[in-house]
Structure 1
Amino acid sequence: MSQWKQIQQLQIKYQEQVGYLYDDNFPMDIRQVLSNYIESQDWDTAANHESMATVLLSNLLSQLDRQCSQEQNFLQRHNLKFIYQQLQTKCKASPLLMAGVISSCLREERRIISTASIQEQGPLEKSMQNSVAFERQKNMDNRVAVIRSSVQMMDQAVKYLEDMQDDFDFRYKTLQSRDPVDRNTEVMKQEVTRLQEMLNNLDFKRKENLSKMSDVIKEIDALIVSQLNPELMEWKRRQQINCIGGPLLTGLDQLQNWFTLTAQSLFQMKRQLDKLGELILKVTYESDPIPLQRPQMEEQVKYLIYHLIKSSFVVEKQPCMPTHPQKPLIIKTGVQFTTKVRLLVKLPEVDYQLKVKTIFDKNRQFFILTTTTKVMDVEESSNGCLSVEFRHLGPVSVTEELHSLSFEAQFNIQGINIDLETCSFPLVVISNVSQLPGGWASVMWYNLLTDEPRNLGFFASPQRASWGQLSEVLSWQFSTFAGRGLNREQLCMLGEKLMGTVQASQNECQVSWSKFCKENIHGKNFSFWMWLDSILELIKKHLLPIWNDNCIMGFVSKETERARLKDKEPGTFLLRFSESHLGGITFTWVEQSDSGEAKFISVEPYTKSRLSALPFADIIRDYKVITDGEVPENPLKFLYPDIPKDEAFGRLYNSQQNKGKMSNILSQQNGRAIELVLRKHYGNVLLMLMEMLLRTPITTSREYSHNALLKL
């Protein structure tokens, strides 16, 4: 079943979550009408290769244009044409960005489908949803809007104050220009009295305006401290969780809007204070409130501007190698990586080229091979992003040692010197691709358990993770890399394998870093994470369609496997991952013995080396063993619980033209299963003949028949 059809069958609350993914950048109408094409393309890779993104998007536009011409409904045809025009512009302007949007949407759809199948969210995802609650955003929007309105009203108040002062100044200078002889007249006394009243009103208005400005400054200060900075910290925490496969990261554009509006208010207030400074050059008097209060208020505004802009300098995209876009924060020596920094304050005053310096591991052995300085060019299409590519080298032995990547810039705005600095989350450096699984385990563990941005000594004494947290992250790995997450039953089996039967049902049970990644599983020469990661690789490279069609039960113990199969029809089989081999999948089917009891037959696990030769669906289709009837038969009839084999795997079969080649290879690969049958029916003598047969050319599995063996 296609991914889009699965979404249409979800509960409304999950469909609404999908709805939030789509906007003007990538309308849901396109997702609907071109669902088959969209799901059949590799957008993850395209998001990191511009030429591929350009081709895929060009094909998408061609299909959309064709769809427009074929659409019979006038209104729908009109909407599609309008969308086509908008999309065409965006695809040409930034193909990588558009491919990334589509990739993110598809990945988040899979996560929502996975969540719906589990029917409950884990503690991390719940906390992430709470952090971006709609009501909190609405409150923030209202508060920023009120401040903007107050500041704009202050503009009018300052202008009114200037008009009052000009009127007073004019009358005062007119009075001074009068003949001294006329100053003691009654008219002159009345004029002096009127001037005093005007000065009193002017003093009152100055004090009133300064009081209002002080209140607005306090409100902005409170907004930054109590809401804006916490929202930024929450976004950074969500970014950490997103890095390890968590929910889609959103909210940065909203943050930029809040930061920009707040900065605009502060700069507007700074101009108002500058205006007050100009007014006292013309008119001042004893106990004038402006020279008494303005300097302190000006310092407060500059302080807030400085720290607001300083905190708005963030890493939008964490360092990532283009070859492994879904595993950020792992850098291989000698390989390019990309990262983006972004200034969340967008003002005309800062719309100029800003030089950003990159520093890798201050005072340590790594160095950037290319230039360490890049220019930030604020562009509307990228929302003010800076994309930077670097290459670094260095002698390194890979442990859990963490490294840092910092960004620095300096600029002056309206007389305020601002030193910008931000850093990526800690990086893991590897020197060989074989070290990637261990590096990714470190990235997951760190970002799961701490929100400290520069805790480079974390693995000197790593924290423990609760099974509730860890199981959620493990499910995300399958959702991200294999398209479908794990259900409760599968996670329970993993918990048993990692912690034992008793602890597996307890979400609060603590798991150590060593237990997860360092210690070997009892009786094996590999760790729990090495075993699980090898399964992820196997799915991604050889089993993806079967996994996403929910045909693989996967994580199930032999005891549970037998309990599931014992009462089923003969020939019922299930697929599970090997517990004894790294990256292996096996199948077990049930038969009925002569005594009427169920017997179970399993095959030697298929690993990547065997699956490289044949698709797994074809192996299941063409698998044969010798039976009592002397003719090789396929014992696999029903995928557990009772799905006919061809119904479950039929759409994944290769064409029949390859079947002869497949049978030839399968007849050799099936040796282990045939060996089991021969031992039962013919004994060791015929087994020796079987071994002779395997050394002769074989064209079809039918040559394993009893008659063929006797002819030898």
Structure 2
Amino acid sequence: MSQWKQIQQLEMRLLEQVDYLYDDNFPMDIRQGLANWIEAQDWDTAADEDSAAAVLFFSLLSQLEAALSREHNFLQRHNMKIIQQQLQGKYANNPAAMARVISNCLNEERRILSTACMQQQKSLQNSVALERHKNMDHRIGMIRTSVQMMDQGVKYIENMQDDFDFRYKTLQSRDPSERNSEFMKQEVTILQEILNRLDFKRKEILSKLAMVIQEIDDLMNSQLDAALRDWKRDQQMAAIGRPLLTSLDQLQTWFTLTAQSLFQVKRQLDKLGELVLKVTYESDPIPVQKPQMDERVHYLIYHIVKSSFVVEKQPCMSTHPQKPLVIKTGVQFATKVRLLVQLPAVDYQIKVRTTFDKDLPPGRVTRQFFIVTNPMKVMDIEDYSNGCLSVDFRHGLKEKKSGNATKSNESLLSVTEELHSLSFEAHFTMQGLNIDLETCSLPLVVISNVSQMPGAWASIMWYNLLNQQPQNLAYFSSPTRATWAQLSEVLSWQFCTNSVQGLNKDQLDMLGEKLLGQHFSNSDHIHWSKFSKENIPGKPFSFWTWLDSILELIRKHLLPVWNENYIMGFVSKDMERALLREKKSGTFLLRFSESHLGGITFTWVQHGDDGEATFNSVEPYTKSRLNALHFPDIIRDYKVISDGVVPKNPLKFLYPDIPKDEAFGQLYNNLPSKGTTFSSKRCLTDVGQSLISFVSNFQPTHTYRPP
């Protein structure tokens, strides 16, 4: 199916976005009439190559001419002639501009289609998840109904047995001389009938118990354990920025209801054991079948309680809430464990002990740490958790000093690649069952200086994206590679975590090109070193170090501007010029510097009397400069002067055509700076105004290369 046909099947909300793409520069009539031909051409190449653009321009005119000859509707022919004349007048001298317009429209169409596809997939996933939840609720409900009905069955057996016991003891108390009487014979017959019915009911209840136990076993193995694994994987991905998809409260409900059914079955088996002590007989089924059932139920109870012991909140420092699992020595971090099963009353308090690096791989010599706070706390019931037990920890770490430690091959990893773990253990006795609880955090990275934070967070992202093993602490000895499709999604999450604005397809494509080169694809693989350790060619920093510095710049200095989607951000210099070339003088766009860590710059276009476009860029503003400056005010107050020329602000329209004050007006500080100008020789400021940077070596006739 052609792209245009797919577009026409979109819902109205998305069709309105498509409608916005088309105007006099590229009328929708052409897109409709020449859909297949347009989609078959390489407009991206033509946008950069004048010769290819010229060929496509004249081919488009020929296609229009052919369409005109086939059109019999007079009004439609009239409209097509007008469009043809407009295109010739607009693009005859600049066919590359037409190629860029069409290329942008097709790329935006693909983005809109991709958005629609993702929404459909999400809707399907939600539908599948809802169906799975309904199925789980139904199965657990059926099990609980069956177990409750067996309570009545056990009670019926108990009443029948009491009747038998009373009649039997009454008969035993009779005078021995009456034993051969007709009445005594009738009583013996009645007792035998009751015993036969009792035997039948005991076999029946044992059969039902066996079926319920098997149903619970199947539920736990096929669905409950899988749901827990899905939640743990979801928690892994949420730790690196993806929105949490599953609810721990829902999981807690399923675990608790299933455990309550098991406890009820255990009580029923215990009750049957008590009944046997009062009345038993030859071929009694309870002594034969009950031991195996007891063993199976005890195992299932042990398993469900043990597996319900989870880390609800992964270790995280309050100073860096967006970067959990990175711990700095000497800084307190918080974590929380929870028991999903609501337990019957226990005999004593459940004490949880925390241990650091309990399960380090044997022979691995690395930095060693110890917990400086109390490692043990008692679990408590939280009202909002429906009676389940949990405990919050506040811990700090300190490194053990060892003067004679030697390093193995594994420990040659950098500090930020060393993975550690935090373990939690508890033991308690409940209804005669000894239960050991143990769980552990996701792997941690321990740093001693905040400068190590970017590298540590890169390790956490990479591990949790690609590794579902909870404790593969030697992972970075041989890390796996990521596809661009996987990595690009995580990178967009980082921007969503630090703001409300993620990355769009164009921005991600630019990042993919920077990391993988031109003509990359979603299936291309990226090695860990290329992402985090190797420097970008020609630069003294790695790809991730560069990107992380931009995230910090946004979070500390550019958040309102970024959230308004005013920063194009990631755009190549060639694309920057292509976008600005046809715009009005004074049109500017904001992008992040490729040569400075954590820098933002802006470039504007000016057209001379001959129509020639020149591009002017400023030296990037980094966090050190923005500590004293408010970025929207820089845009508002920016002025350039040259010898003998009155200072003026060259910035008029934010790309594509938004008046500057309309875009940034609400973000300005209340008091504008007065008399601030920017010179090629010096920066003039009034007393009390902050120093604002200027255009380096600005000359009105000079074309600037963006930094």
2:452 matches 1:430: no
- Matches of 2:530 and 2:124 in 1, distance apart? 27
2:337 matches 1:341: yes
Residue number in structure 2 paired with 1:459 = 476
Kindly indicate which of the two structures has a greater share of residues assigned to helix.
1
- Matches of 2:12 and 2:250 in 1, distance apart? 28
Q: Secondary structure of the residue that 1:586 maps to in structure 2? A: strand
Q: Return the letter of the residue paired with 2:446.
A: V
- Matches of 1:122 and 1:512 in 2, distance apart? 27
Per-residue deviation, residues 460-500 of structure 1 (Å, max 9, x unmatched):
11011111111111001001112210000100000000001
Match of 1:392 among 389, 397, 409: 397
Moved more, 585-594 or 669-678: 669-678
Shift of residue 119 of structure 1? 2.1
Q: Secondary structure of the residue that 2:194 maps to in structure 1? A: helix
Residue number in structure 2 paired with 1:521 = 536
Contact 1:624 1:670 in 2 (8 A): no
2:138 matches 1:153: no
What is the root-mean-square deviation of aligned Cα atoms in Å? 2.6
Shift of residue 188 of structure 1? 2.1
Per-residue deviation, residues 195-235 of structure 1 (Å, max 9, x unmatched):
11111111000000000000000001111111101000000
Contact 2:678 2:695 in 1 (8 A): no
2:489 matches 1:493: no
- Runs of 4+ residues deviating >6 angstroms: 10-13, 115-118, 661-665, 668-671
Residue number in structure 2 paired with 1:102 = none
Per-residue deviation, residues 500-552 of structure 1 (Å, max 9, x unmatched):
1111xx21111111111011111111100001001111111111111111111
2:288 matches 1:285: no
Shift of residue 246 of structure 1? 0.2
Contact 1:614 1:662 in 2 (8 A): no
Residue number in structure 1 paired with 2:371 = 368
Alignment of 1:154-553 (within 5 A): 154-350=150-346, 353-362=349-358, 365-381=368-384, 384-394=389-399, 398-503=415-520, 506-553=521-568
Contact 1:578 1:605 in 2 (8 A): yes
Q: Secondary structure of the residue that 1:226 maps to in structure 2? A: helix
Per-residue deviation, residues 76-134 of structure 1 (Å, max 9, x unmatched):
xxxxxxxxxxxxxxxxxxxxxxxxxxxxxxxxxxxxxxx999726779x9599569811
Contact 1:430 1:436 in 2 (8 A): yes
Q: Return the letter of the residue paired with 2:153.
A: A
2:570 matches 1:555: yes
Shift of residue 418 of structure 1? 0.4
Contact 1:586 1:605 in 2 (8 A): yes
- Matches of 1:157 and 1:184 in 2, distance apart? 36
Contiguous gaps of at least 5 residues in structure 1: 1-9, 14-114, 682-712
Residue number in structure 2 paired with 1:676 = 698
Shift of residue 139 of structure 1? 0.7
Q: Secondary structure of the residue that 1:632 maps to in structure 2? A: coil
- Matches of 2:12 and 2:133 in 1, distance apart? 25
Contiguous gaps of at least 5 residues in structure 2: 1-10, 15-110, 361-366, 402-413, 686-690
2:617 matches 1:602: yes
Residue number in structure 2 paired with 1:101 = none
Contact 1:574 1:587 in 2 (8 A): yes
- Matches of 1:298 and 1:354 in 2, distance apart? 25
Change (3 A) 1:131 1:427: farther
Residue number in structure 2 paired with 1:7 = none
Residue number in structure 2 paired with 1:644 = 659
Q: Secondary structure of the residue that 1:348 maps to in structure 2? A: coil
- Matches of 1:568 and 1:676 in 2, distance apart? 21
- Matches of 1:438 and 1:586 in 2, distance apart? 25
Q: Secondary structure of the residue that 1:438 maps to in structure 2? A: helix
Q: Secondary structure of the residue that 1:184 maps to in structure 2? A: coil
Q: Secondary structure of the residue that 2:310 maps to in structure 1? A: strand
Change (3 A) 1:122 1:533: farther
Q: Secondary structure of the residue that 2:589 maps to in structure 1? A: strand
Residue number in structure 2 paired with 1:46 = none
Per-residue deviation, residues 554-582 of structure 1 (Å, max 9, x unmatched):
10001000110111101111111111111
Contact 2:531 2:544 in 1 (8 A): yes
- Matches of 2:563 and 2:250 in 1, distance apart? 34
Residue number in structure 1 paired with 2:598 = 583
Identity rate of aligned residues, in percent? 68
Change (3 A) 1:464 1:392: same
Q: Return the letter of the residue paired with 1:177.
A: S
Contact 1:270 1:298 in 2 (8 A): yes
Residue number in structure 2 paired with 1:69 = none
- Matches of 1:257 and 1:273 in 2, distance apart? 24
Change (3 A) 1:667 1:139: farther
Q: Return the letter of the residue paired with 2:697.
A: E
Shift of residue 353 of structure 1? 2.9
Per-residue deviation, residues 146-191 of structure 1 (Å, max 9, x unmatched):
1111111110000000011111111111222222222222332222
Change (3 A) 1:301 1:466: same
Shift of residue 399 of structure 1? 3.2
Q: Give the structure-1-normalised TM-score.
A: 0.76
